[in-house]
A and B are shown apart, each in its own frame.
Chain A
């Protein structure tokens, strides 16, 4: 209703400008060429304004209250109705009755089906709002994830020093190993040569011993004469005979 709009706009403007601007009727939201056009819109009122007797706005009663007191609006309304009927601005005939029935039907429909329709409309609106909210939330999550990933990748990239440390350590270890192998090689070579010398001497000594033993045995054998051999065999046979007799 225009009157209610006017009252609310005046209140809003007075609140914003602290009364500096004298203005009876001003729209709450000025045109897009003004400095206010970027201002976020205000939330729509969830409920309708306060009314008395179902149709008359509370503001009208407040308007009368200062001038006429509490009963003023009621007296004014009754007087207005009486004047209209007396001067036949409102004519009570068949059409008036039909109009009353029509108004009654409209009120019945609004009372009966209004809440259901309002719920359905709210649901539709909430779906759209949720859709946009989800979109926004997804986008923000994507941004956060991307930032997280970038930071993680930075942290990983800084680990490149580990790689080079490992490679340098490998090189150092291989060098050390090679050096140690060389030391081992020298030592082994010296030891092998000494062992060779030792083996040569041992072998020579062993061969000399064998040779000497052979020489002694050969000399002893060659010094035995046929006469001595015959005597030895005869002695042996005699011994055998004696042994046979004794047994």
Chain B
């Protein structure tokens, strides 16, 4: 019966846990708990039930024909498999999530590029003791004294 369906894949929970962002740890723990419950239930259900000893019943019962009938019908019965209505939805959601991830990665790469550009601007500055004040103010605008707010003498434009 195990060959009938692809064997249930083992999940690498350790690798998974490493990749979970810290703000989603609680959700991850909940998922892990539920999965563990499902897994333990799966493990505790044996694959085949204990076989029925028809010969024993046949020797004991007054009417062996009845047992034969039971046996025939039991062997003939087709047990319907439960319908899988979730995997399709999951596939779709996975595709959507992957598209989202791709978009995030593109955006993130753009951000990385921006950071690198900014860093390269600062890396290409001359050594600090060779910079003039104009250079410094161009590189760090927040260091430029605000002459509007804190004017120096003579506090008015020179004619």
Could you tell me which A residues sit within 8 Å of B by CB distance?
Answer: 40-43, 125, 129, 132-133, 135-136, 139-140, 143-144, 146-147, 150-151, 153-184, 186-188, 190-191, 193-194, 197-198, 201
Evaluate contact between B128 and A129: CB separation under 8 angstroms. yes
Kindly state whether residue B119 has any CB partner on chain A within 8 Å: yes
Q: Indicate whether A171 sits within 8 Å of B15 (C-beta atoms), given known contacts A43-B129, A132-B131, A144-B119.
A: no
Evaluate contact between A173 and B38: CB separation under 8 angstroms. yes
Evaluate contact between A187 and B49: CB separation under 8 angstroms. yes
Evaluate contact between B94 and A161: CB separation under 8 angstroms. yes
Evaluate contact between A153 and B21: CB separation under 8 angstroms. yes
Evaluate contact between B130 and A143: CB separation under 8 angstroms. no
Rounded to whole angstroms, the CA-CA distance of A160 and B63 in the bound complex is 61
Interface size on B, residues (CB 8 A): 73
- Further contacts, 14 of them, CB under 8 A, given A158-B105, A172-B87, A175-B5: A43-B129, A135-B143, A139-B118, A139-B122, A147-B115, A156-B20, A159-B16, A164-B93, A172-B5, A173-B42, A187-B50, A193-B70, A194-B52, A197-B63
Rounded to whole angstroms, the CA-CA distance of A184 and B5 in the bound complex is 18
Q: Which residues of B contact A183 (CB under 8 A)?
A: 48-49, 79
The listed residue (B12, B42, B46, B50) touching A162 by CB distance below 8 A is B12
Evaluate contact between A146 and B115: CB separation under 8 angstroms. yes
Q: Indicate whether A153 sits within 8 Å of B108 (C-beta atoms), given known contacts A147-B116, A159-B20.
A: yes
Q: Which residues of B contact A156 (CB under 8 A)?
A: 19-21
Q: Which residues of A contact B35 (CB under 8 A)?
A: 166, 169-170
| Nearest 4 pairs of A and B residues by beta carbon | A159-B19, A187-B49, A143-B119, A162-B16
Rounded to whole angstroms, the CA-CA distance of A180 and B43 in the bound complex is 11
Q: Which residues of B contact A163 (CB under 8 A)?
A: 16, 31, 97
Rounded to whole angstroms, the CA-CA distance of A176 and B48 in the bound complex is 12
